[in-house]
A = this chain, B = another copy of it.
Amino acid sequence: MPDEDAIIRRMTSSSARLPGGYLGPGDDVALVPTSRGRVVVKVDMLVGKTDVPRGMTMRQAARKAVAMCVSDFASKGVRPDSFLVSLGIPRGSTARQVEEVALGLYDAASRWKLKLLGGDTNEAGDLIVDCVMLGSADRIVRRSGARPGEAVVTSGFFGYPPSGLKIMLGSAVASQTFKRRALRSVVLPTPNLEVGVALKPFLTSAMDSSDGLSKCLHTLAECSEVGILVERIPIGPGVSGFAKANGLDADELVLAGGEEYEIVGTVKVSSIQAAREAARNAGGNLIVIGETNELAGSVRIRRGKRIVPLARRGWTHLA
């Protein structure tokens, strides 16, 4: 069967050319023009079987569905305003479980100051929380805006969610401190919306990294028609030690994992300092991990003295 990317390509290619002001498939969000400004809309589906690891509560799962959309908005530099939720509830769920889902939605509404505008409730074979998020903006940071000679940046360190997932699945062990941080990144993903909004003036391109860092870099390189050379992998503190202790490859954890909710993007070299300050003032980070070049679509990484292609790995639904 076709994988997620093939399905999206199919939808994109056959989509009639959209009139001015609209943004259709192929970026983190869609845009609808109105008489003044544009409506920003994103829909992201959480499915129990694939997105909710054992050990994660329904309350956390519902909160995560909203966080997934917030992450997309953050990467576009747009503060979301409100959301709706379409629920699929497995028959036989208890009132307590449904209550948990509602609580998770309120957790997210409260954390990111969002209005919950209702939605739809259905019976389904698995837990489905499909979040529809709305905001407005005249301009968003696109995936396609990078030019050669810019700095490639991330809004934070990578590696905690894939480490946490391995710990939850019982296939890795960790110190109490690392375990707490890694598990928290899985069950309470918290994209930094303030950093996304603060970085908007500086980002020439950006996207959300929930499908993993390597896939994300490839997508940016393709959408912007630039090359990317990764000089430094943004390995989170403690991730190397965790990887070593469990016989894992730390680079692999960082590059090929998924469920990361950092922003990956590009800034002009001249604005790195100002961007870093803006990110810090918003309680976040700005980590320079490489630079763009003229080799359109190519993503490479420096390994010691050699420069080698970086494989496109990461999460693809239905792959």
Q: What is A's interface to B at a CB cutoff of 8 Å? A: 1-2, 4, 6-8, 10-12, 14-16, 18-19, 22-26, 30, 32, 34-37, 39, 41, 43-45, 47, 49-51, 81-82, 84-89, 91-95, 97-99, 102, 105-106, 109, 115-126, 128, 130, 132, 134, 136, 317-318
Contacts and interface: CB of A to CB of B under 8 A. Distances in A.
A107 to B, nearest CB: 12
Chain B CB within 10 A, most for which of A35, A98, A109: A98
A36 B39 contact: no
A44 B120 contact: yes
Contact of A7 (B91, B109, B121): B121
Nearest to A103: B14
Given A37-B35, A81-B32, A43 B132 contact: yes
A30 to B, nearest CB: 4
In the complex, the count of this chain's copies comes to 2
Contact of A88 (B8, B15, B45, B136): B45
A44 B86 CA distance: 7
A123 B32 contact: no
A2 B118 contact: no
A317 to B, nearest CB: 5
B49 A125 contact: yes
Contacts of A128: 45, 88, 124, 128, 130
Contacts of A105: 11
Contacts of A121: 4, 7-8, 317-318
Given A7-B87, A93-B1, A118-B11, A134 B39 contact: yes
A200 to B, nearest CB: 19
A35 B36 contact: yes
A89 B132 contact: no
Contact of A89 (B7, B16, B26, B44): B7
B16 A130 contact: no
A11 B102 contact: yes
B24 A117 contact: yes
A123 B46 CA distance: 10
Given A24-B115, A34-B34, A122 B45 contact: yes
B116 A24 contact: yes
B10 A99 contact: yes
In the complex, the 4 A-B pairs of residues with the closest C-beta atoms, listed nearest first? A25-B118, A30-B117, A45-B86, A125-B125
30 contacts: A1-B91, A1-B92, A1-B93, A7-B87, A7-B89, A7-B121, A10-B98, A10-B99, A11-B102, A11-B116, A11-B118, A16-B109, A19-B115, A24-B117, A30-B118, A32-B39, A34-B36, A34-B37, A34-B136, A41-B132, A43-B84, A44-B86, A45-B122, A45-B130, A47-B124, A49-B124, A50-B124, A84-B132, A86-B86, A120-B130
